[in-house]
Each structure stands twice: as structure tokens, then as C-alpha cells.
Structure 1
Amino acid sequence: MPELPEVVVTLRGVSPHILGKQVASVSVREPRLRWPVTEGLSSLLVGQTLLEGRQRGKYMLFRFASGHLMIHLGMSGNLRIVTAGTPVGKHDHVDINFVDGTVLRYSDPRRFGTIQWLEGLPEEHPLLHHLGPEPFDDAFCGDHLYRLSRGRKVPVKQFIMDSKIVVGVGNIYANESLFHAGIRPTLGAGKVSRVRYVELVEQVKRVLASAIEQGGTTLRDFVGGDGKPGYFKQELYVYGRAGESCLKCGTLLKEIRQGQRSTVYCPDCQR
């Protein structure tokens, strides 16, 4: 599943090609996504100029004069820029065609994403109103995690992956951030001190920023805005390295399952 860095990289990749341009037509070849494509999307968009593109969690919000186009990539979706007349693939479900011949194409083999038209404040939409702060916002801080974690027995890894707590800390980045903060992922969230949460916040911000800078983690289904796969060139310290030696202390890394997801950690470096 594309995580927050992939979403940010995708948005940055496609935005320069479409901002300030007017929509000429919309082609919806398959409306049956996880949440159906808004009916009559073409009539809502044609003639409008794209004013801004921004991200909220894993949702991309493209602002027009009368509303926002909200796009979520689901588990296997991607956006890319193509030119008019580019052959359509089996999983190319929606095209936003601009007057200059630029096409924003949405592809999604598993159809777990969504494309919806929103009027009013996007943050009031049912899919967005419950979301916690963005990881790079000042509201995401050690005090925030410490306050919300008091009395919570849920493991700290699952706690920071809860989008009501903070958005965008997916499985890969939770593993890496906890390793660099020296916190064992099985530790109850309520047992983590304020000082350790301050360190964890710093590591979350650093790991995500590095991933965004390098272009996102390589995922089989992810294709960037320029049609090239994204790459996470920074070395992963624990994710995907179960049974290998810790790059800091040499201890063999352990793997467990938490919430049906793989968790890898160092028994010595993480306490």
C-alpha cells in the first residue's frame, strides 16, 4: 500500500504538470472503486481550473473554484501524467483531460482507492474529520503522544499507526522510527515516558522526511508522477531484515506479527 511519502511524492510529481490548467473532459471507464467515483464527475469538473494540490493523510486534495477532487490511491493505485492519445491499460480507470492535452491518469488494479468530488471544507468529510495531526505539524509532538497514551495498553507500534493519533505512520516507517528511538514495538503505549515520546516524534519526522526526499519506498505497485518507480535509497535498518544482524549492535533481528502486520526489531537496541 502506498504510504504517506509515496502520496507526497506523487502529489509533487503530478502537480507542476496540471496546476493552473483547465479541465477539458473527464473519462470514467470504471467507477466501481472502494468508494464509487462521484456520479457526473465530468459535468462538475469541465471548464474549471485547478488551483491547488495538497495532501491530508493519504488523501490528495485538488482544489477547484467550486470544490475539491479527493483522491486516495488505496492499496495499489497510482497517478501519472500522460499525453492525450496514450493507450489505455486494463487498470486505467479515470482520466482527467486538460485543454492543453495533458492527462492525469488514475490506475488501480485492485480498485481499493477512491475519487470523489467534495463541496465545502474537505476536513469535514466523513473520511477526513477523524484524522489526527500531520506528522510534520507542530501539533504532533511528544506531549501529544504522551497525553493520548496514558492508560493505553495497546502496543506502542499500533498506537502510532492509528490515524486518529497521527496520520501517515505506516508499517514500514513505524518499524524504522521505533528502532531509531530505541523503543520496543511491543511495549504498551501507556508505559512509554514523555522523554521517550519526544525522541520518537523526532525519529518519525526524520524517517518520513528522508523517505520523501529520496522519492518514497520502492513498492511493486507504486509508480511516480513521471512514470518511474519511487526509490527509498536510505538503508532500512529493520523492516524486511528479520533474521539478519542489527546494523548497530550485530544482534539478530526478531520478527513478530502485530495487527496482522510484520514487526521487526532488535532485542538489544530496543527496550
Structure 2
Amino acid sequence: MPELPEVEAVRRGLEERLVGNILTEVRVREPRLRRPVPSLAPWIGRRLLRVERRGKYLLWRFAEGTLLVHLGMSGRLAFVAPDEPPGRHDHLDFLFEGILLRYTDPRRFGLVAPLDAAAEWALEARLGLEPWDERLTPAWACAKVQGRRRAIKEVLLSGDVVVGAGNIYACEALFHAGILPDRPAESLDEDDWARLLAALRAVFEAAIAAGGTTLRDHRTVEGKGGEYRGRLAVYGREGEPCPNCGTPVRRVTQGGRSTFFCPLCQHEK
């Protein structure tokens, strides 16, 4: 599933090419995504003012309202030539004054839907803070997880403390912070959170600069793969030497997902 760096890379590409253009046509070939795609006819003729990201969601802001786009597990947005025929999994086309943006989603877990004020309030209510939000301090995060015995990695994946980390970047940030992924969240003190938040921000920033991480599906809107994969310290590297100490990287299963870590560099206090 695309995580914050991948979604941010897509956002920047959309912002660069589409802002200021009018949506002139939408072609829906397959409306059966995570939720059925509603009629987008009312959006035709509207000018795109900006493209924002909230967590892993894209928000297309028009003067008349907002379209929410979520890439799900395998969704991609890409600029293609206006005469390029659609493939089997090319479900939607958005035309902006001669610019064709195509939505592809083999698993159809993505989402395209209008976002009214009530729906946006509900979205905000269940999302944590952005990684660079000034309110996201070690003290705030520490207080937020008091009484929560869930493993810290699972808390990161939930996105209700800080948004944007999926399996890849949660593993990477915990490694760089020296924190075991199965530690109860309530056991982290302010010093732990200071290291973890710094690591998370650094990993995100480096991954965004590299266009994200491409393991299988992710591509930028220009069709390029993310280049951060070669910089992953532990994710997907079971049995390989830790880049810090040489200890073989271990893999365990948490919540049905693989977790990668170094048993020496990540340890209890």
C-alpha cells in the first residue's frame, strides 16, 4: 500500500501539472472500487485550485468542493498520451484541458469520492497529526499512548497518533530509533518518542526526495519507480547483515504483517 512518501510524490506531480486547469471530462470504465464511484458529472467544468495530502489521502481542492482520492493497495495515477488505449485495470480517466490523468488499480481497493464538510470532519477525527505538525511533540505523543499496551509498530500503522507510516516506514523508523517493534506503546518515554519522531521524519524526507519506494506497484505520475528501496536498512532484508552492527536482520509476524528489525540495535532500555 502506498505510504506517505509515495502519496506525497504523487501529490507533487499532480500539483505541478494540473493546478489551474479545468476538469473537462471524466471517463469511468469500472465504477466498482472500494466504494462505487459516484457520478462525477457535477465536477466537469471546475478549475483545480490545489492538491493537498492528508495522511495517505489526496484532496483535490476546487472552489466548489473537494474530491478525495485514495490509492488503496495497488492504485496508481499517471499522465498518459491522450490517444493511449486503456488497459485491463485502467478504470478512470480524468481530462484536464488536454492533459489525460489515468487511474489504474488491479485490486480495486482505491477510492474516488466527493468530500463534504461532514465527511472531512469525520476523516480528521480519526487521523493523527502530520509528521511535521508543530503540535506533534514527544510529550504529546507520550501522553497520547498512555494506557495503550499495543505494540508500538501497530500503533504507528494505525495512524491515530502520527499519520503516514505503513509497514515499510514503520520498520525503518523503529530501526533508526533503536526501538523494538513489539514494545508496548505505553512503555515509550519522551526520550524514546523524540528519537522515534526524528527518525520517522528523516526517513519520510529521504524517501520523498527519492520518489518513494517501489516494491511492485508504486510509480510516480510520470511513470517512474521510487528509488528509496536501495536505502532500506531492514525492511525486506531478513537474514542480511544489519548495516550498523552486522547482526542478521530478523523477521517476525505482527498483526498478520512481516516486521523486520535488528535484535541488537533495537533493544529494551
* TM bucket normalised to smaller: over 0.9
Cα distance in 2 between the residues matched to 1:197 and 1:234? 27
* Structure 1: gaps (5+ residues): none
Say if 1:62 and 1:70, in contact at 8 Å, map to a contact too. yes
Q: Hey, what's the Cα distance between the residues in 2 that align with 1:196 and 1:129?
A: 26
**Pairs within 5 Å for 1:148-227:** 148-227=144-223
Determine the C-alpha separation between the residues in 2 that align with 1:14 and 1:137: 23
Q: CA RMSD in A?
A: 1.4
Say if 1:214 and 1:233, in contact at 8 Å, map to a contact too.
no
2:112 counterpart residue number: 115
Q: Note if contact 1:17-1:81 (Cα within 8 Å) is conserved in structure 2.
A: no
- Once the 2 structures are TM-superposed, how far is the Cα of residue 26 of structure 1 from its aligned partner? 1.0
1:56 corresponds to: 54
Aligned equivalent of 1:235, options 231, 236, 241: 231
Q: Could you tell me how far apart the structure 2 residues matched to 1:197 and 1:23 are?
A: 43
Q: Is the 8 A contact 1:68 1:122 kept in 2?
A: no
- Superposed, 1:24-39 pairs within 5 Å as 24-38=24-38
What is the aligned length?
A: 267
Tell me what 2:65 maps to. Answer: 67
Contact 1:67/1:120, CA 8 A, preserved across alignment: no
Partner of residue 41, structure 1: 40
Quick one: percent identity of the two aligned structures? 45
Which amino acid is the alignment partner of residue 136 of structure 2? Answer: F
* Mapping of residues 87-102 of structure 1, within 5 Å: 87-99=85-97, 101-102=98-99
Query: What SS class does the counterpart of residue 47 from structure 2 fall into?
Result: coil
State the match for 2:246 in structure 1: 250
Q: Give the superposition deviation at 1:219.
A: 2.5
Residue of structure 1 in register with 2:13 after alignment = 13
Unmatched segments (≥5 aa) in structure 2: none
Cα deviation code 1:211-231 (max 9, x no counterpart): 001110013111211012222
1:141, distance to aligned residue in structure 2 (A): 2.2
Contact in 2 for aligned 1:160/1:174 (Cα 8 Å): yes
Q: Give the secondary-structure state (helix, strand or coil) at the position aligned to 2:126.
A: coil
- CA offset at residue 189 of structure 1? 1.0
TM-score, normalised to structure 2, is 0.95
1:143 equivalent among 139, 143, 155:
139
SS where residue 8 of structure 1 aligns?
helix
- The one-letter code sitting in structure 2 at the alignment partner of 1:230 is G
